[in-house]
Structure 1
Amino acid sequence: MSSTAQVIPFQFEAREVRTLLIGDQPWFCAADVCAVLGYANSRKAVVDNCREAGVTTSDIRSGGQKRRVTFISEGNLYRLIIKSRKDEALRFESWVCDEVLPTIRKHGRYEDTSGKMDTLLGQTIGTDGFHMLGAIIKGKVVSLPQAVQRRATAKIWSQTHAAFGVRSAADIPADQLDAARNFIAAYALEGEWLRKKPEPKTEPRLDIHFPVDYLSGRRPGTQYHRNEHTDFLEVFPLDLVDPAESPCELILTRLTKAGYNVAAAWWEVRTYRNKLAQMHRAIESLKRNFESPQQYVIAKPDLI
């Protein structure tokens, strides 16, 4: 089959894809499409994947010469896209479906009236990026009541489109994908969709710092020089008996006032303190007994 229809050329990622209008329907140069989609042998790709009814040939002028070129229908174009393994396939499909085909059908030719060629030539985040941003938005709104999730989702998409100057998130330039992700992640739901969370109460910090200086300060002279790297420290067991001064008792007292349940620690410390007090009293009693004289009643010498 031959056709005198005018060739409509356009570029996809620096590759020319020639198009014809046959019976008001767009047909695509098979060789050009296969080059974009990564098919090494365009003839084999057409035979293996395309329906014969959607394949035709047409004489066109290329490089000043008349050549016979194979064209495929829109349906066969999709068949080649679906079976392509190249990453460009999804971007190519999105561009053709969303931009090229509607314009061809409306004007009978492709017009880049919006000046978006640079953005559309494989340099956008495309469908994959769109789904990635959609997943982030879904994760943000999942905590909202079911009734407002759809409205919140639409609002975030609208704000994203406005922020990046696009009609569809798929048209966001690829080098701005991270910026778009950060924009959505930082979008605040509080206030508009959620009540702001109350500020957490800050509890006063417990003063339970008792460095070694506390012991040496309580008994001056108990910490003294040993060598260049260390000191001697003398610790007196009886200091535990004084609840007003013992750092163990002071720590437990402050923890209790702060609301901590430290009853087990209290009973252990009290046991140590009471046992030490009992031992001290016993030792003091023995000491007094050893230091006091033993008194006897004896006869006077002149009576012996």
Structure 2
Amino acid sequence: MHDAYSATTFLRHTRPLRGILIDDQPWFVAYDLARLLGLNHPQSLARRMEPHEMRVVKLRHASGGEEPVEVISEAALYKALFRFGHPENRTLGRWLAETVMPLLRDQGRDDPRQPRRLLMNWRSQRVTVLDWQGALWVPLEQLPTFSAFAAGIERRR
């Protein structure tokens, strides 16, 4: 059994969603997801899941401490999105499917010859980049952000 996991923290509208890989499968802190869904009692989300969709694990903090948290599986996450239907949850589901899941799955990839998504901090933003063949690749839709910053550097010289 694993002693403690190091979570990857994703931010959506300044709210965190911590995720971990257990046996190459994504699991998410139930409390964080409940807050993103706007539930009045976020601590109750995990209790509404089936026993196989929820477990308690220890998360390791950067300070060295550990915290026991309830995590839910990927299937339970989508179940919660469906159950607590709200118009905002459609964009939340898209963000989870297109950004969070691929990044979290790539965390477990060890083969340096395969491309891997990473989160990079850039000008107080978190940007998804692709680490491949020893270089970082920027998504086309993020290119104007990087180009404007680079142009500002060139003008100052």
Matches within 5 A, 1:120-269: 166=141
- Separation of aligned partners in 2, 1:119 and 1:81: 25
- Matched AA of 2:42: S
- Matched AA of 1:59: K
SS of the residue corresponding to residue 6 of structure 1 reads coil
2:68 matches 1:61: no
Q: Identify if the C-alpha distance between structure 1 residues 3 and 70 changes in structure 2 by more than 3 Å, giving closer, same or farther.
A: farther
The 8 Å contact of residues 38 and 86 in structure 1, kept in 2 or not, is answered as: no
Counting aligned pairs with the same residue, the percent is 24
Task: Count residues with an aligned counterpart.
Answer: 121
2:138 matches 1:112: no
2:42 matches 1:42: yes
Which position in structure 1 is the counterpart of 2:7? 7
2:81 matches 1:81: yes
Which position in structure 1 is the counterpart of 2:20? 20
Task: Provide the aligned C-alpha RMSD in A.
Answer: 3.0
Deviation of 1:111 after TM superposition, in Å, equals: 1.9
Q: Identify if the C-alpha distance between structure 1 residues 92 and 3 changes in structure 2 by more than 3 Å, giving closer, same or farther.
A: farther
Provide, for residues 166-208 of structure 1, a one-character-per-residue CA deviation record: whole Å limited to 9, x for no partner. 49xxxxxxxxxxxxxxxxxxxxxxxxxxxxxxxxxxxxxxxxx
- Matched AA of 2:20: L
Deviation of 1:90 after TM superposition, in Å, equals: 1.2
Provide, for residues 204-249 of structure 1, a one-character-per-residue CA deviation record: whole Å limited to 9, x for no partner. xxxxxxxxxxxxxxxxxxxxxxxxxxxxxxxxxxxxxxxxxxxxxx
The 8 Å contact of residues 27 and 73 in structure 1, kept in 2 or not, is answered as: yes
Which is bigger in relative contact order (C-alpha 8 A, separation at least 6)?
2
SS of the residue corresponding to residue 90 of structure 1 reads helix
Unaligned runs of 5+ in 2: 110-116, 129-139, 143-157
Q: Identify if the C-alpha distance between structure 1 residues 18 and 3 changes in structure 2 by more than 3 Å, giving closer, same or farther.
A: farther
Q: Which has the larger radius of gyration?
A: 1
With the length of structure 1 as denominator, give the TM-score of the two structures.
0.35
With the length of structure 2 as denominator, give the TM-score of the two structures.
0.64
Deviation of 1:8 after TM superposition, in Å, equals: 0.8
Deviation of 1:3 after TM superposition, in Å, equals: 4.5
Which position in structure 2 is the counterpart of 1:196? none
Q: Which structure carries more strand by proportion? A: 2
Deviation of 1:87 after TM superposition, in Å, equals: 3.3
The 8 Å contact of residues 36 and 88 in structure 1, kept in 2 or not, is answered as: no
Unaligned runs of 5+ in 1: 121-164, 168-304
